[in-house]
Structure 1
Amino acid sequence: MRTTLITFGLIILSGLGFAQDIKDLDFISPFKDGLAAVQRDGNWGFVDESGTLVINFRNDVAILPGEDKDKSKYPYFKEDRCLIQKIEKGIPFYGFIDKSGKIVIEPVYINATNFKDGMAVVSELTKESLGTNDLLDKRVVNYSFTEIAIDKSGKLLYFLTDPQHVTLDKKYLRKLPKIKSTVLSESLIAIPSKTTKNWTIMKLQK
């Protein structure tokens, strides 16, 4: 009888909407795109506006400067996508998760912007084999990156810049190659000139 009463009481409490609190948080961000980032022990999760932890704590989300006047740094969603990063040999590679926490774009880019008007600009890495150094008995490779625009599934939409050489070594790659192309609207992207400080507005064909 006692067990029955306890079970019945738990059912009533559940029906009244009692939920477990999320405790011992080190940081709580403002809500962006319907979710707020929460930090615990160096890992990040996301809660919705009901206070439910919808993405469990993880260590691969990318930390970004807050927008507007918010100078704090935390991960956030924009257009249902959040940047993640994977470190390989000391070099970060970027991709995206959706609001379920699923990786929808693998972390293969050496830099990336947030999405705007359905597009993100990413730096795509290309590896070219140049042969073998007989003296050192090592393969010689050349790395370059190109700025491209992708959609929310990771599909290539547009090539934006010519390939640029990059040394893929953490001793030399002290800063990520800065992304210069900017999404202005769903039909316009600003692209920097190859040789001057001027810009070109690229009209997109849908």
Structure 2
Amino acid sequence: MKKALIFSLLAIGQILFAQELALVKEKSTMGYIDRSGKYIIYPTFDAAKSFSDGLAAVKIKQLWGFIGKDGKMLIEPSFTNIREFHDGICVVEKDGAWMYINKKGEKLTMPSSEKLYDFNEGLAFFKINNKIGAFDTAGKVIIREEYDVIKPFQNGFARASKNSKWGIINIKGEIIVPFEYDDLGEYSNGITWAQKDKSFGLVDGKDFKVIDGVDKIWDFNNQPLTYAKKNGKIGFVDKTGTWIIEPQFEKARSFSQNLAPVCLKNKWGYIDPTGNFVIKPEYNDAEVFSSDNLAPVRGKGWGFIDNTGKIVIPMGYEISASFGFGEKNKGFNQGVSRVKKGGKWGFIDTSGNLIGDKWFYNAELFQN
């Protein structure tokens, strides 16, 4: 019986930790709701931040502390400035000094740095004499300080610059793409775009294949095709650099759910991977489809269409910032979209119903 109770409590704790909550503002106070619109933590805070890594910063009497998803204070307010937890560690300011703390609020000893950086994929950067390296959560230096710039890691890889040239490194500090390019894109499934002198092309391993006449290439974003510009027009190339859809569009965005938004004659529509229009260009703007198979389109305000082009949610909204998937997509994520109407923010479901039947003075994205 005792074991069953322990397992039940553990299961409840895991569910609570996994639950995504959104920070919302009611007049002058802030609280947190779940995806049904129910308050999990009632609005009692004058200032607060979104959840990150299971904790959220809240301000009480000019000092910041951290709460858990049950609303209980886990780290007492004692900080004058805070960032967010990542990999169990947060950068905070106390008594005029910046430092790292763990989830118990304990100060951590880390390598010295001219600036403190947030953790990202298990590493934090450090700067010595304007050179960048990285250390892990135990404070062990993994990448020595030899780079001018290191961009945030994504899926274990990061763009880095040394001696005015760009390359790709992994989280072990190993060089994946040599430092011989003037610009580079994100590394995705073993490939990235690159610029060398005035030529643009694709890097597959250590091989650079120039795509003639191209003057801009966008990231693949884990898709088999990406878009590129040639002679002022945009088309789509595959990972060998072959034009699959010839340059003909004024603007474009990434493929998602096998459809890509493109602009032709100042109107947006959607094409399939063969370049044929599935949804004719008739909108003032359009964003990529989410996994909910809905995409935001703009006419008189923003609404949402399905992958046949049918308007599912009528226009009249402003739409939110990125939910963090695809190409910084604006719109739905796991059945919920953040929208603004009449000067207030709220969340709608895939049928256009207002979740919780309530609008807020402000509402942030759902975070874990």
Tell me the TM-score normalised to structure 1 length: 0.47
TM-score, length-scaled by structure 2 = 0.28
**Structure index of larger Rg:** 2
